[in-house]
Amino acid sequence: MHILSVKDLGKTYKSGNRSLTVLDQVNFDIEAGETLAIVGPSGSGKTTLLGLCAGLDSASKGSVQLNGKALERLSEDERAAVRNQDVGFIFQNFQLLPTLTALENVMVPLELKKRKDAREKALELLKKVGLGDRATHYPTQLSGGEQQRVSIARAFANEPKILFADEPTGNLDTETGDMIEKLIFDLNKEKGTTLVLVTHDPELATKTQRIIHIKGGKIQEDAHA
Ligand code: ADP
């Protein structure tokens, strides 16, 4: 089964009377449980593509089917519901909420659960990423690597079917990067979560089953290992 189907996808950013097409006629399908890296030069459209696939932004052309739902047919609220239910997203710059503690950040996707259950689950996730003792710290009190681990715990909280990660190991030292990498790949092994990673790191890319090369907003190569 395809967890993600991208058809004739296009994205044009418009500001005033200027427009910039950053994705054009992009096509690919991803099987449930697959691991895939998207690589390409800076500015080639990787982050934009990831955002469209995850329902964070809407396409200018074409369609994205995520877990059987055509995102372009959904309202913003419906898209948010799909994101909450099916998607985990790890941002390059973490995007933790600064006014919430580490624990509260991880609880955000669990808001529909009873508060006590959400706290327990969030603490369990923080322990899994090695931050059980940082639960009451605020993002500014954490190192970059620790913030990234909190953001991973948050991305795992809703037990997503598909995890998108934008340069998850960028800006981190090798040791922390290795730890983050292991957490992400373990999720695939343990729960069968589909992984879609944008990365500059060729070593990380070769650890996935498939590499999509993108340049100038078009797929140049789609190679299975
Ligand atoms: P990559 O992740 O490969 O570096 P991006 O998807 O971030 O590429 O960006 C592709 C192009 O789109 C770049 O030229 C960038 O400046 C432009 N871009 C990205 N986001 C926006 C936006 N919100 N508005 C206008 N242009 C954007």
**Assembly ipTM:** 0.98
As averages over each run of 10 residues, the pLDDT of the chain (225 residues) reads 96 94 98 97 96 96 96 94 93 94 95 84 95 97 95 95 95 88 95 96 93 96 91
End-to-end CA distance of the chain: 20
Nearest CA, atom 20, ligand 1: 48
pLDDT (0 to 100) of residue 74: 95
* Cα separation, 72 vs 211, whole angstroms: 26
Ligand 1 neighbourhood includes 51 CB (under 6 angstroms): no
Q: Is 7 helix (H, G, I), strand (E, B) or coil?
A: strand
pLDDT (0 to 100) of residue 216: 94
pLDDT (0 to 100) of residue 116: 84
CB count in 10 Å sphere of residue 30: 21
Q: 219 CA to middle of ligand 1, Å? A: 16
Q: 154 CA to middle of ligand 1, Å? A: 25
DSSP structure class, residue 201: -
pLDDT (0 to 100) of residue 205: 95
Integer-rounded Cα Rg, in Å, for the chain is: 17
Q: Alpha carbon of 159 to those of 39, 140, 173, 212: distances in Å?
A: 26, 27, 27, 25
Ligand 1 neighbourhood includes 11 CB (under 6 angstroms): no
pLDDT (0 to 100) of residue 58: 93
Atom of ligand 1 nearest to the CA of 48: 6
CB count in 10 Å sphere of residue 15: 7
Sequence-ordered list of residues with C-beta below 8 angstroms from that of 91, at least 6 positions apart, any chain: 151, 166
Q: 119 CA to middle of ligand 1, Å? A: 37
Atom of ligand 1 nearest to the CA of 40: 3
Global confidence as pTM: 0.94
Q: Which residue from 11, 12, 13, 46 has its CB within 8 A of the most atoms of ligand 1, so it is best to mutate? A: 13
Tokens of 223: 């190679």
* Cα separation, 212 vs 205, whole angstroms: 10
Nearest to 52 by CA among 33, 24, 32: 24
Sequence-ordered list of residues with C-beta below 8 angstroms from that of 116, at least 6 positions apart, any chain: none
Q: Is 60 helix (H, G, I), strand (E, B) or coil?
A: coil
